């Protein structure tokens, strides 16, 4: 029986485990401000890695970064009716621009400084970017117009959970305008594919890309596509979305262009985004009962070197430090994933064993300890975080030669990345069930972590769809997406008995 | 008489010139949201360059990036009285978390969703980061604690000017906690020196680093230091600040540590920041009557290649394009400032001459045009943006050999950077006046762009200081800072006649 670093275990208490992991891995914490978290250095470092890698791909796709206002006048939202219906319930509203003393030592919003038109803190930026695009687009020559911003957004949430659902979160939002539907659809699918490949690559997180059913569309969109990842409790996490908005936002904002024949046309627009929610996904896909296992490609530090200093013999400690520094330089030389290896020499004041477990919980991919005997023998003690135990439950520490290990470290990091991906992929595929005849029985209360159902359906709309949504809701289920890569439908609709037109994934979700 | 690209000229109408330059260089524009701007791709690209270079220095100083909440509960501000006094007048206040329809097709803040405690949109984050530090710091072993965030902040401004004073702006804010004053002062000065070197280096913008007088301190600070840059109209721009906050914020937030003797002590804290205001400084230091001259180190693209395609002869156009692509590959190979040269091949649909002037206005450091004759002769047409005219007023286009130019391009970029810096440095020094006997006369209304005065003074406090501040205000002057590198005082105070203790810079300011 292994004594793991976390008290809560995934198999028993997934929610408690998630919360404890975030605290113990020093990723984030409650801020004292309702629904907002503080993202701590290790958590923010992961976000910086995600930003860096994703931003390069956004730029490579010819999308320009910009920055648009945090505040959106209320009137902007009134223009696109479906959009405001979808968001109106959960926005932070700025009504005053000054505070004054109430005369009793407290501050209050200054009644004399009430805004004529309240401002909404952006929940997403279609409306304000649409207004800019209307200024920027004149002719077909200006199209396609492709912009992106990295920003904070706010959606007032009643029940929050760190990284997954917070009132304020960080994200990127891409917005593009095109002459026609074909161009907009192609861009929307390009962004979807970028997200899919990014999840499977840097995040080592397998996902299913597909189209959301009508009832799950972004407010105002014609089509919404998503990537869905499976957490270790079998629940789905919508990890990224890409929307084709038709011409409705262009009509609301007046994004028009002169076509080649001199006529005026409305643009077809898209938007697409991923957020700090991805970090929640990485935790729930790769974490274990000892903490996070951070995929090397997004780990702020990939290799940690812990010198075992005894503070008894200064010469001995110096020899250990010198050896560790030389190793650090050696490890940082080769490229892993096309970038220099990120090595940290941990010289903090903590005890070496505390450091080891701190890095285990944070999920540094490789942890190296160096003591005087290692220096004498030219060796290292190495823990590979993703495969930390031997069959007998003991820590799988290896003792390679220093120079041999240095030559293989970059390949080892790439191997860890692949191993995490393949472990998660196997779990995803073995938990998608295609032979379910009774959803109620399959998703019975006492069944732990049941995974997803892939069902054939006729894609009904209106009241028929509402009925299915209600039926699923009673089982706490939602439709996730109709996978792009699913087999063609060849049967009847599970819900209506009509001829099926596609397959749809169903599951519990975050 | 040169016909310049901008209609407004610096010498006649500095404010109009600034506004026109920002529009013509496609840096930013009004957003339609009061006091907030849209930062367009070229402007945001400059900010990304600033972020990238500055972030590397912040990390190298052992400061960890984090992210803290956008919203700060009102009660946090009530704790530090001096701080709230300084900010209370200009904050955006969130009072509601939901909108509802008013029944007449308009949206209003939902009266049923009024927040019990209003939230302030952060004007700066000392209070909320202080609350986090109080949780994180237990013992002297946790110190120093050094964090930074890149974020948007909001200070409600009545009169706004793009990049210089907008209600929302982007910045970094560093916050550190230390065991004692000496440690905090050293960190505060480290950040100041980082800003000074950054301005003089990547921004090619000479600055004077020094301490702000008491009346100009950050609300709640014990000492505020700044870097001050001189714009081409002789006004000062405070381009970065670093504050020693003493123990007052630690006392308000409860940031305490156990010292080595087991006693409880309050931390000494600092904060320091620079913002998108730096871009305004770069414009007003380096811009000319043809637009921006962007320092190569922060230019999103350093070299622009414009192929002159005539769309008459497909083979000829293809030869020009092939030649341009080969040149691009050649130019991107060497390093300038330790980074690969950033080259853009502009294949947009615009006419070549429009492209040229568009890049002149944006201030790309080197603009290359390639036509069929250049291909035949193995040459290029090169415009060096910082020295664009010959003595006779004609464009100084040179026609170097392609390969020779490619070999020298990186050095040329470094040369342009140095030339911009040296031009601005000469202007700064020749416009600091140390022999002024009558401020009123020197700063007479009809005198254009008078520059700064460096005066000896006794550094009075209280009413004596207030009197000086009022006296200067009547001349639209403020004290900028007491330069660290100024000569020692050797005379009497210009204002009081008492023995002087230091020299202080005085000027008009943004």
CATH number of the CATH domain containing B340 = 3.40.50.800
Q: Are residues B190 and B74 in the same domain?
A: yes
Please name the residues between 53 and 92 in chain B that touch chain A, using a CB distance below 8 Å: 64-74, 77-78, 84, 88-92
Helix (H) / strand (E) element for A71: namely strand A71-73
Q: Which phi and psi angles does A261 have, rounded to 5°?
A: -95, 5
CA nearest B100 in A: which residue?
A: A88
Interface probe, candidates A67, A168, A176, chain B, greatest B C-beta count within 10 A = A67
Is residue A88 scored above 70 in pLDDT?
Answer: no
Q: Are residues B162 and B248 in the same domain?
A: yes
Let me know: does B241 contact B272? Beta carbons within 8 Å.
Answer: yes
Using CA atoms, how far apart are residues A384 and A416, in angstroms rounded to an integer?
Answer: 8
Residue A90 lies in a domain: yes
> For residue A132, what pLDDT is reported?
97
% pLDDT > 70, chain A: 99
* Residue B93 near chain A (CB below 8 Å): yes
Interface probe, candidates A37, A79, A92, chain B, greatest B C-beta count within 10 A = A92
Is the preceding peptide bond at B468 cis, omega within 30 degrees of 0?
no
Residue B273 lies in a domain: yes
Residue A428 lies in a domain: no
Which residues on A lie below 8 Å from B48 (Cβ)?
A: 65
Token pair in block for residue A96: 């005053």
Which residues on A lie below 8 Å from B89 (Cβ)?
A: 98-99
Helix (H) / strand (E) element for B502: namely strand B502-507
**Domain boundary residue, one of B254, B286, B318:** B286
Q: Which residues pair with B242 in a beta bridge?
A: B225, B272
DSSP secondary structure letters along A158-202: SS-BTTTB-SEEEEEEEEEEESSHHHHHHHHHHHHHHHHHHHHTT
Q: Are residues B55 and B162 in the same domain?
A: yes
> How large is the greatest C-alpha to C-alpha distance in chain B, in angstroms?
85
CB contact under 8 A, A91 and B73: no
Its ipTM equals: 0.96
CA nearest B139 in A: which residue?
A: A349
Which residues on A lie below 8 Å from B29 (Cβ)?
A: 132, 135
Residue B356 lies in a domain: yes
Percent helix, strand and coil across chain B, each to the nearest 5: 35, 25, 35
Which residues on A lie below 8 Å from B107 (Cβ)?
A: 74, 77-78, 84, 88
Cα dist. A297→A463, B67, B129 in Å? Answer: 46, 21, 30
Pairs across A and B, CB distance < 8 A:
193
Q: Are residues A210 and A231 in the same domain?
A: yes
Q: Are residues A300 and A282 in the same domain?
A: no
Beta-carbon contacts of B132 under 8 Å, excluding residues fewer than 6 positions away, are: A29, A31, A38, B68
Using CA atoms, how far apart are residues B265 and B254, in angstroms rounded to an integer?
Answer: 10
Let me know: does B499 contact B255? Beta carbons within 8 Å.
Answer: no
Please name the residues between 239 and 278 in chain B that touch chain A, using a CB distance below 8 Å: none
The number of folded domains in chain B is 3
Using CA atoms, how far apart are residues B203 and B197, in angstroms rounded to an integer?
Answer: 9
Residue B83 lies in a domain: no
* Residue B40 near chain A (CB below 8 Å): yes
CB contact under 8 A, B94 and A89: no
Q: Are residues B20 and B152 in the same domain?
A: yes
pLDDT tier for residue A313 given thresholds of 50, 70 and 90: confident
> For residue B78, what pLDDT is reported?
82
CA B87, B88, B91, B94 torsion-angle sign = positive
CA nearest B64 in A: which residue?
A: A41
Low-confidence ranges of chain B (pLDDT < 70): 86-88
Q: Are residues B406 and B472 in the same domain?
A: no
Q: Which of A41, A109, A168 sits opposite B69 (nearest CB)?
A: A168
Using CA atoms, how far apart are residues B245 and B133, in angstroms rounded to an integer?
Answer: 14
CATH number of the CATH domain containing A139 = 3.30.930.10
Can you give the residue range of the structural domain that contains B447?
433-507
Mean of the per-residue pLDDT values for chain A?
Answer: 96
Q: Which of A45, A65, A151 sits opposite B48 (nearest CB)?
A: A65
Which residues on A lie below 8 Å from B64 (Cβ)?
A: 41, 44-45
Using CA atoms, how far apart are residues A111 and B59, in angstroms rounded to an integer?
Answer: 44
Q: Are residues A122 and A215 in the same domain?
A: yes
Q: Which of A45, A88, A92 sits opposite B107 (nearest CB)?
A: A88
The answer for A297, left when phi > 0, alpha when psi is -120 to 50, beta otherwise, is: alpha
Q: Which of B31, B66, B100 sits opposite A41 (nearest CB)?
A: B66
Is the model more confident about B14 or about A101? Answer: B14
Selection from B357, B353, B424, B368 nearest residue B25 by Cα: B357
Which residues on B lie below 8 Å from A101 (Cβ)?
A: 88
Let me know: does A94 contact A70? Beta carbons within 8 Å.
Answer: no
Token pair in block for residue B143: 């110190």
Q: Are residues A445 and A411 in the same domain?
A: no
Using CA atoms, how far apart are residues A466 and A172, in angstroms rounded to an integer?
Answer: 32
CATH number of the CATH domain containing B483 = 3.30.110.30
Selection from A287, A293, A394 nearest residue A1 by Cα: A394
Q: Are residues A181 and A206 in the same domain?
A: yes
Let me know: does A99 contact B117? Beta carbons within 8 Å.
Answer: no
CB contact under 8 A, B121 and A151: no
Selection from A424, A287, A415 nearest residue A363 by Cα: A287
pLDDT tier for residue A121 given thresholds of 50, 70 and 90: very high
**Domain boundary residue, one of B286, B316, B337:** B286
Is residue A172 scored above 90 in pLDDT?
Answer: yes
- Give the pLDDT confidence of B26-54 residue by residue, as tens digits: 999 999 888 899 999 999 999 999 999 99
Cα angle vertex B486, ends B481, B488, to 5°?
115
Please name the residues between 320 and 349 in chain A that touch chain B, using a CB distance below 8 Å: 349
CB contact under 8 A, B121 and A77: no
Which residues on A lie below 8 Å from B56 (Cβ)?
A: none
Q: Which phi and psi angles does B437 have, rounded to 5°?
A: -105, -20
Selection from B52, B56, B49, B51 nearest residue B299 by Cα: B49
Q: Which phi and psi angles does B244 have, rounded to 5°?
A: -100, 120
The answer for B358, left when phi > 0, alpha when psi is -120 to 50, beta otherwise, is: alpha
- Give the pLDDT confidence of A378-402 residue by residue, as tens digits: 999 999 999 999 999 999 999 999 9
Interface probe, candidates A46, A71, A176, chain B, greatest B C-beta count within 10 A = A71
**Domain boundary residue, one of A227, A258, A286:** A286
CB contact under 8 A, B39 and A69: no
CB contact under 8 A, B41 and A156: no
Residue B110 lies in a domain: no
pLDDT tier for residue A90 given thresholds of 50, 70 and 90: confident
First to last CA, chain B: 31
Let me know: does A71 contact A92? Beta carbons within 8 Å.
Answer: no
B307: helix, strand or coil: strand
* Residue A99 near chain B (CB below 8 Å): yes
Q: Which of B29, B40, B109 sits opposite A93 (nearest CB)?
A: B109
Q: Are residues B400 and B438 in the same domain?
A: no
CB contact under 8 A, A107 and B78: yes
Q: Are residues A279 and A305 in the same domain?
A: no
Token pair in block for residue A58: 């956004």
* Residue A25 near chain B (CB below 8 Å): no
Token pair in block for residue A412: 């080892």
Q: How far is B141 from chain A (nearest CA, A)?
A: 7
Let me know: does B49 contact B298? Beta carbons within 8 Å.
Answer: yes
Residue A421 lies in a domain: no
Q: In residues, how long is chain A? A: 510
Beta-carbon contacts of B235 under 8 Å, excluding residues fewer than 6 positions away, are: B507, B508, B509, B510
CA nearest A88 in B: which residue?
A: B99
> For residue A48, what pLDDT is reported?
98
Q: How far is A84 from chain B (nearest CA, A)?
A: 9
Residue A8 lies in a domain: no
């Amino acid at each position: 029986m292994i004594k793991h670093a976390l008290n809560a275990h995934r198999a028993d208490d997934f929610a408690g485990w998630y919360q404890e992991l975030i605290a113990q891995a020093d990723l984030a914490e409650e801020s004292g401000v309702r629904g907002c978290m503080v993202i701590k250095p290790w958590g923010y470092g992961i976000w910086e890695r995600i930003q860096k890698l994703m931003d390069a791909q956004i730029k490579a796709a010819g999308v320009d970064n910009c920055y648009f206002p945090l505040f959106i006048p209320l009137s902007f939202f009134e223009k696109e009716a479906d959009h405001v219906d979808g968001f109106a319930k959960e926005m932070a509203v700025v009504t005053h621009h000054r505070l004054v003393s109430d005369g009793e030592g407290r501050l209050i919003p200054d009644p004399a400084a009430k805004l004529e038109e309240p401002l909404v803190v952006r929940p997403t930026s279609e409306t304000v970017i649409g207004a800019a695009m209307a200024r920027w687009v004149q002719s077909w020559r200006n199209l396609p117009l492709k912009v992106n911003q990295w920003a904070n957004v706010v959606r007032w949430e009643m029940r929050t959970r760190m990284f997954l659902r917070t009132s304020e979160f960080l994200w990127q939002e891409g917005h593009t305008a095109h002459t026609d539907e074909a161009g907009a659809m192609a861009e929307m699918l390009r962004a979807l594919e970028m997200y899919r490949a990014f999840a499977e690559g840097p995040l080592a997180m397998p996902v299913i890309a597909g189209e959301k059913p009508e009832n799950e569309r972004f407010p105002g969109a014609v089509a919404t596509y998503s990537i869905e990842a499976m957490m270790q409790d079998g629940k789905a996490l919508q990890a990224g979305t890409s929307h084709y908005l038709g011409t409705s936002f262009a009509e609301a904002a007046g994004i028009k262009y002169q076509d080649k024949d001199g006529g005026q046309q409305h643009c077809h627009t898209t938007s697409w985004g991923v957020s700090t929610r991805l970090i929640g996904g990485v935790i729930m896909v790769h974490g274990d009962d000892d903490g996070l296992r951070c995929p090397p490609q997004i780990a702020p530090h990939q290799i940690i070197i812990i010198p075992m200093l005894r503070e008894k013999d200064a010469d001995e400690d110096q020899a250990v430090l010198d050896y560790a520094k030389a190793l650090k330089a050696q490890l940082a030389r080769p490229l892993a994933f096309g970038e220099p290896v990120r090595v940290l020499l941990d010289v903090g004041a903590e005890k070496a064993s505390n450091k080891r477990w701190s890095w285990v919980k944070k999920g540094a991919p490789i942890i190296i300890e160096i003591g005087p005997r290692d220096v004498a023998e030219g060796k290292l003690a190495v823990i590979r975080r993703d495969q930390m135990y031997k069959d007998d439950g003991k820590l799988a520490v290896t003792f390679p030669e220093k120079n041999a290990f240095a030559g293989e470290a970059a390949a080892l990091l790439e191997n860890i990345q692949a191993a995490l991906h393949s472990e998660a992929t196997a779990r995803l595929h073995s938990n998608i069930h295609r032979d379910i005849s009774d959803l109620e029985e399959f998703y019975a209360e006492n069944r732990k972590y049941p995974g997803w159902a892939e069902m054939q359906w006729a894609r009904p709309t209106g009241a028929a769809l509402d009925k299915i949504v209600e039926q699923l809701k009673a089982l706490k289920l939602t439709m996730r997406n109709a996978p792009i890569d699913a087999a063609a439908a060849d049967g009847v609709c599970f819900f209506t008995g009509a001829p099926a037109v596609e397959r749809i994934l169903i599951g519990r979700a975050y």
